[in-house]
């Protein structure tokens, strides 16, 4: 499980009843003819499945989804549900070959859905509804880019450089933000820049947040890994095996985390500056697509208070301030 997927950890028993219920609903309402999108009870079952994905695996996105304009919630929901399904593949497969097959399956899903022949799969069905009924002009290449970037790191290998982590974050998280802006029908270079920088900050922060669970220090660890950029670790004399063995006590860890967190914070600063430059566009409905900046800022603030010890217990608790902070950010159009 990669650190970028840390909030997407699989909790099979909690989702299984909804998955089974959704599958029954889809079978009940499907026919032998092709349909562009689900309708009626089938649509509600699909929405329920996707909402449960968010609630279980990406709680910040679940909270933030309530701020999107009602007519566009399906579009925003399918973006985040798709991301979860792709991110969970590495947790669900036993080897790289199977993982690559799953990634190819999702490429085929995107192609078929765009041609109006979605498979009977909840995320595909909701995407079909958004594309063909809501007429949201999603750029297909963004979905494919997310799949390709996730596939590249199926083996949970470390990022060779901080720049490599940044590039991965652009291909994944920033692509999600671009799709979110398309759902709002915004075409603005300034807003694209905001999306890019928030996406990069998201990916970098996810690696930091996921380090304790990825490293899983202790003799019983069987899948321990450290994804922190190799160049930053080397610069601060940090050995990845020391992180696995000693956790927060590893020599050089705090210095490495500080440098990585600084890069994420730099992107947040730039995103705020670009939002101001966007003027009225940045104050309109498009702002809701930038609300993921709120949990990023909250985490980075808590990390600083913990003296950049990513293993500090306070960082593993759910951020109870998120709903209120998101409400304030949305009202003020500032993050």
Tens digits of residue pLDDT in 298-313: 999 999 999 999 999 9
Is there a single domain that holds both residue 162 and residue 311?
A: yes
Q: How far apart are CA 214 and CA 236, in angstroms?
A: 20
CA 210 and chain centroid, separation: 13
pLDDT confidence of residue 41: 74
For 97, the domain range is 1-155
List the single range of 29-43, 187-201, 285-299, 319-333 with lowest mean pLDDT: 29-43
Is there a single domain that holds both residue 171 and residue 288?
A: yes
Is there a single domain that holds both residue 180 and residue 286?
A: yes
CA 203 and chain centroid, separation: 8
What does residue 300 show for φ and ψ, rounded to 5 degrees? -60, -35
Residue 92: DSSP 8-state: H
Longest dimension (CA), the chain: 62
* End position of a domain, from candidates 123, 155, 187: 155
Q: Minimal CA–CA distance to 153: which of 164, 140, 163?
A: 164
Torsion of CA 282, 288, 293, 296, to 10 degrees: 170
Q: Look at residue 163 and give its three-state secondary structure.
A: helix
Let me know: does 295 contact 319? Beta carbons within 8 Å: yes
Is there a single domain that holds both residue 55 and residue 184?
A: no
Residue 27: DSSP 8-state: H
The count of structural domains within the chain is: 2
Is there a single domain that holds both residue 148 and residue 168?
A: no
Let me know: does 126 contact 46? Beta carbons within 8 Å: yes
Q: How far apart are CA 215 and CA 221, in angstroms?
A: 8
* End position of a domain, from candidates 131, 155, 179: 155
Is there a single domain that holds both residue 200 and residue 319?
A: yes
pLDDT confidence of residue 116: 96
Is there a single domain that holds both residue 24 and residue 136?
A: yes
What CATH number should be reported for the domain holding residue 288?
1.10.600.10
Is there a single domain that holds both residue 126 and residue 260?
A: no
Mean pLDDT computed over every residue of the chain: 89
Is there a single domain that holds both residue 255 and residue 313?
A: yes
DSSP per-residue letters across 182-237 = HHTT---HHHHHHHHHHHHHHHHHHHHHHHHHHH--STT-SS----S-HHHHHHTT
Q: Minimal CA–CA distance to 22: which of 52, 1, 2?
A: 52
Let me know: does 145 contact 174? Beta carbons within 8 Å: no
Per-residue exposure over 232-247, b if at least 16 CB sit within 10 Å of its own CB, e if not? bbeebebbbebbbbeb
189-201 pLDDT per residue, tens = 999 999 999 999 9
Q: Of 309 and 33, which is predicted with more confidence? A: 309
167-190 pLDDT per residue, tens = 999 999 999 999 999 999 988 999
Residue 37 pLDDT greater than 90, yes or no? no
Is there a single domain that holds both residue 170 and residue 303?
A: yes
Q: How far apart are CA 303 and CA 311, in angstroms?
A: 10
Q: How far apart are CA 123 and CA 120, in angstroms?
A: 9
Q: How far apart are CA 105 and CA 96, in angstroms?
A: 14
Is there a single domain that holds both residue 224 and residue 148?
A: no
Residue 156 pLDDT greater than 90, yes or no? no
Q: Look at residue 143 and give its three-state secondary structure.
A: helix
Let me know: does 130 contact 50? Beta carbons within 8 Å: no
Q: How far apart are CA 271 and CA 284, in angstroms?
A: 16
pTM, entire model: 0.88
Distances (CA, A) of 216 to 79, 120, 219, 223, 332: 30, 37, 9, 8, 40
Q: Minimal CA–CA distance to 229: which of 192, 195, 255?
A: 255
98-117 pLDDT per residue, tens = 999 999 999 999 999 999 99
Tally of helices (H runs) and strands (E runs) in the chain:
17, 0
List the structure tokens of 322.
């998120």
Is there a single domain that holds both residue 287 and residue 247?
A: yes
List the single range of 174-188, 211-225, 265-279 with lowest mean pLDDT: 211-225
* Ramachandran area for residue 86 (φ above 0: left; ψ -120 to 50: alpha; else beta): alpha
* End position of a domain, from candidates 136, 155, 174: 155
């Amino acid at each position: 499980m990669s650190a970028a997927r840390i909030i997407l950890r699989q909790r099979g028993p909690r989702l299984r009843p909804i998955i089974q219920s959704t599958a029954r609903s889809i079978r009940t309402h499907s026919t032998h003819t092709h349909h562009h999108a689900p309708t009626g009870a089938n649509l509600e079952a699909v929405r329920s499945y996707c909402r449960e994905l968010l609630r279980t695996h990406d709680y910040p996105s679940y909270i933030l989804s309530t701020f999107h304009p009602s007519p566009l919630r399906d579009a925003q929901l399918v973006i985040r549900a798709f991301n979860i399904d792709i991110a969970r593949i590495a947790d669900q497969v036993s080897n790289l070959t199977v993982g690559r097959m799953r990634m190819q399956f999702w490429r085929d899903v995107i192609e078929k859905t765009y041609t109006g022949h979605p498979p009977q799969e909840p995320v595909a069905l909701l995407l079909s509804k958004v594309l063909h009924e809501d007429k949201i002009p999603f750029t297909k290449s963004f979905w494919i880019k997310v799949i390709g970037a996730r596939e590249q790191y199926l083996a949970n290998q470390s990022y060779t450089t901080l720049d490599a982590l940044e590039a991965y974050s652009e291909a994944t998280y920033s692509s999600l933000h671009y799709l979110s802006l398309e759902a709002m029908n915004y075409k603005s270079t300034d807003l694209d820049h905001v999306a890019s920088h928030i996406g990069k900050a998201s990916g970098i922060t996810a690696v930091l947040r996921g380090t304790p669970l990825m490293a899983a220090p202790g003799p019983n660890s069987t899948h321990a890994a450290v994804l922190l950029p190799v160049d930053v670790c080397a610069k601060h004399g940090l050995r990845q095996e020391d992180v696995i063995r000693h956790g927060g006590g590893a020599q050089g860890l705090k210095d490495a985390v500080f440098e990585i967190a600084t890069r994420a914070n730099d992107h947040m600063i730039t995103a705020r500056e670009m939002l101001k430059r966007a003027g009225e566009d940045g104050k309109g409905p498009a702002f809701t697509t930038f609300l993921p900046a709120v949990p990023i800022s909250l985490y980075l603030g808590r990390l600083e208070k913990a003296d950049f010890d990513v293993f500090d217990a306070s960082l593993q608790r759910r951020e109870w301030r998120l709903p209120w902070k998101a409400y304030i950010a949305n009202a003020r159009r500032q993050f």
